[in-house]
Amino acid sequence: MSKTYEPETIEQDQGYTVQEVCHRYCLESEFVIKCVDFGITEVSGSSKAESLLIPVESASRMAKAWRLQRDLGLDFTGLAIVLDLLDEIDQLNGQVETMARRLRDWEG
């Protein structure tokens, strides 16, 4: 293992086309379009499917949606709610960690 790989930084505003998302995450285009319709993923670009750009972060979210649908049988409405709640839990956990850290520093 002598080679060192130099990665490319993925910027927040980078996006994938629907086709790219399907290839990268092994999703079907129908599923991706439904995720867009139900607001599970953000998009930019025109309303035509071929011009849609899906932010990289949202693409991961869609892969998660697919796994939850496959494994837990959730419909799209349920998926949208569950994903929003999971995001909120992550955000709140992050805030709790930060506040706990600050409290420890102040009391320490």
Q: Would you tell me which residues interact with other proteins (CB under 8 A)?
A: 1, 3-10, 23-26, 28, 56, 60, 63-64, 66-68, 71-72, 82, 86, 98, 101-102, 105-106, 108
Q: How far is the CB of 47 from other proteins (least distance, A)?
A: 26
Say which residue the tokens 């420890």 belong to. Answer: 104
Q: Answer yes or no: are the C-beta atoms of 8 and 49 closer than 8 Å.
A: no
- Nearest-angstrom CA–CA distance, 36 and 56: 14
Residue whose CB is less far from other proteins, 7 or 47: 7
Residue whose CB is less far from other proteins, 28 or 37: 28
Phi first, then psi, for residue 53 (nearest 5°) are -120, 130
Residue whose CB is less far from other proteins, 48 or 70: 70
